[in-house]
């Protein structure tokens, strides 16, 4: 009886050890990509057997505020594309060649900003089960013309309130575009070019929206904007946490409209030297037209003169011939 108990205990411990050694990992915890580009998300899982994939189950989903969407699914070793949410339809492909090596490589094309969020993959095989997540932030490209106002989007990854919001431009010194803390903007380290031109909509911050409103943009505002947040670990403590990675990245491109690019300065005014060039071209055109008209008149005058000279010569010849004819007649 003791022997049987020992065998059962050994089997239980072996089963637990097998399950404990099955691990799912992500090759990268946070991905950054740009709108309309492509990206590859990758997970790895423990493989110890070379058996059939009939016991392979993969369930990947996007977990974002107020939604959870099926991203990719394998059931009993068979893909189930019909279970995929419409948002990802036709945009997700798996690299099947590396799946047997314990690698899940999912290629996502034509990225959208709504693809941003946490991607959680549950994996189950005959060796065990586990899950792991990664963060994907899809940056938006925003275009504007000088003088416009724009909104640079940023949304919190969870429902915890933001204690501090940082908007930065890495290429500037100081890099702070806006620093919001203690429930108000802190202009102390703000870059001078953004003073009195940026703000957050506090009424939207309650819903996790910390988008930056930038007014009266100029071409010098073009660049990469990064959004970071501090959030409370516990509502009863003052401790806050900060991730060094931005939760949102936005690229802003400010340029004059295509029809006004030539001949306009950064502030949109007409460039003087271009105006001179245009004036010179008009003057040269007028001179050429006048020269053409004068040339036509002279050409007509020359032709007319030649015609008159030819006519005079013909009259002279006729007169001479008449005179010669009259002198040869006999006198009466």
Q: Would you state the pLDDT for residue 331? A: 46
Cα(179)–Cα(227) distance, rounded to whole angstroms? 10
Query: Is residue 46 classed exposed, middle or buried when 0-12, 13-18 and 19+ CB atoms within 10 A define those classes?
Result: middle
Q: Would you state the pLDDT for residue 269? A: 45
Give the pLDDT mean for 190-201: 92
Give the pLDDT mean for 109-124: 91
Average pLDDT, the chain: 79
**pTM of the predicted protein model:** 0.55
* pLDDT tens profile 9-20: 444 444 444 445
Domain ranges of the chain: 22-138, 145-259
- Domain 22-138 sits in which CATH superfamily? Immunoglobulins (2.60.40.10)
Q: What φ, ψ does residue 247 adopt, rounded to 5°?
A: -85, -15
Cα(141)–Cα(37) distance, rounded to whole angstroms? 11
Q: Would you state the pLDDT for residue 8? A: 42
**What's the CATH class of domain 145-259?**
mainly beta
Going by their DSSP bridges, the two strands 162-168 and 176-181 should be labelled as antiparallel
Given this chain, do its domains 22-138 and 145-259 carry the same CATH topology?
yes
Give the pLDDT mean for 186-193: 91
Q: Would you state the pLDDT for residue 172? A: 93
Considering all CA atoms of the chain, what is the largest pairwise distance in Å, rounded to the nearest integer?
180
% of the chain residues with pLDDT over 70: 72
In this predicted structure, the answer to whether residue 125 has a pLDDT above a threshold of 50 is yes
Q: Are 167 and 178 in contact (CB under 8 A)?
A: yes
């Amino acid at each position: 009886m003791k022997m049987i108990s020992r065998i059962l205990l050994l089997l239980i411990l072996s089963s637990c050890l097998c399950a404990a050694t099955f691990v799912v990992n992500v090759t990268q915890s946070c991905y950054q990509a740009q709108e309309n580009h492509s990206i590859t998300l990758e997970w790895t899982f423990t493989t110890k057997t070379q058996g059939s994939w009939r016991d392979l189950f993969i369930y990947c989903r996007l977990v974002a505020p107020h939604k959870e969407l099926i991203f990719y699914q394998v059931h009993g070793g068979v893909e189930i594309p019909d279970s995929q949410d419409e948002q990802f339809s036709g945009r997700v492909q798996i690299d099947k060649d590396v799946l047997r090596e314990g690698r899940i490589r999912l290629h996502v094309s034509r990225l959208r900003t709504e693809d941003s969020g946490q991607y959680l993959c549950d994996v189950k095989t005959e060796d065990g089960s586990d899950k792991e997540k990664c963060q994907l932030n899809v940056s938006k490209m925003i275009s504007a013309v000088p003088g416009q106002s724009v909104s640079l989007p940023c949304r919190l990854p969870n429902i915890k309130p933001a204690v501090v919001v940082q908007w930065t431009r890495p290429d500037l010194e100081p890099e702070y575009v806006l620093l919001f803390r203690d429930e108000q903007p802190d202009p102390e380290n703000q870059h001078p070019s953004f003073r009195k031109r940026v703000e957050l909509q506090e009424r939207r911050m309650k819903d996790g929206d910390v988008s930056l409103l930038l007014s009266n943009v100029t071409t010098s505002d073009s660049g990469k904007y990064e959004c970071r947040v501090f959030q409370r670990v516990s509502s009863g403590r003052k401790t806050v946490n900060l991730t060094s990675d931005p939760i949102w990245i936005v690229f802003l491109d400010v340029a004059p409209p295509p029809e006004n690019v030539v001949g306009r300065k950064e502030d949109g005014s007409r460039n003087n030297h271009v105006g001179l060039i245009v004036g010179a071209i008009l003057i040269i055109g007028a001179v050429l037209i006048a020269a053409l008209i004068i040339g036509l008149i002279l050409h007509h005058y020359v032709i007319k003169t030649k015609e008159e000279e030819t006519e005079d010569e013909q009259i002279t010849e006729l007169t001479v011939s008449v005179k010669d004819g009259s002198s040869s007649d006999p006198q009466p």
